[in-house]
Amino acid sequence: KAGVTQTPRYLIKTRGQQVTLSCSPISGHRSVSWYQQTPGQGLQFLFEYFSETQRNKGNFPGRFSGRQFSNSRSEMNVSTLELGDSALYLCASSSLGGRDEQYFGPGTRLTVT
């Protein structure tokens, strides 16, 4: 099976812009989660989608949003970028979420200048 893929792998944006990140889960997986990884904070949960519905959301401002399509692919959007949004954004898929193992993508490195 092909692993979780994320595009783009690297992105440089300026403050105030918006960005959309994409994640393709493992075939057959219906749960997709997004995380922000930074050296100081570790992995911070952003949200989880399951069958096109947001099932859970972390403590991030409304500038962070996401969606999932019928083929389970997911996108994450960050509007009005701030310098502090610079991070590695990880996507993970699992069969059904819940207590299943998560499979992580390589991440998208976002740099905000």
Partner 1 sequence: AQRVTQPEKLLSVFKGAPVELKCNYSYSGSPELFWYVQYSRQRLQLLLRHISRESIKGFTADLNKGETSFHLKKPFAQEEDSAMYYCAPPLTGGSYIPTFGRGTSLIVHP
Binding site for partner 1 (CB under 8 A): 3, 31, 33, 35, 41-45, 48, 50, 55-59, 90, 92, 94, 97-107
Cβ atoms within 10 Å, residue 34? 25
Report, in Å, the least distance between residue 73 CB and partner 1. 18
Looking at the Cβ atoms of 81 and 107, the one nearer to partner 1 is 107
Report, in Å, the least distance between residue 109 CB and partner 1. 12
Query: Dihedral sign, CA of 79, 57, 21, 112?
Result: positive
Report, in Å, the least distance between residue 48 CB and partner 1. 6
Residue 90 near residue 109, CB atoms below 8 Å: no
Report, in Å, the least distance between residue 107 CB and partner 1. 7
Pairing of strands 42-50, 19-24: unpaired
> Quick one: how many helices (H) and strands (E) in the chain?
0, 11
Residue 91 near residue 32, CB atoms below 8 Å: yes
Looking at the Cβ atoms of 70 and 101, the one nearer to partner 1 is 101
Looking at the Cβ atoms of 5 and 13, the one nearer to partner 1 is 5
Looking at the Cβ atoms of 13 and 58, the one nearer to partner 1 is 58
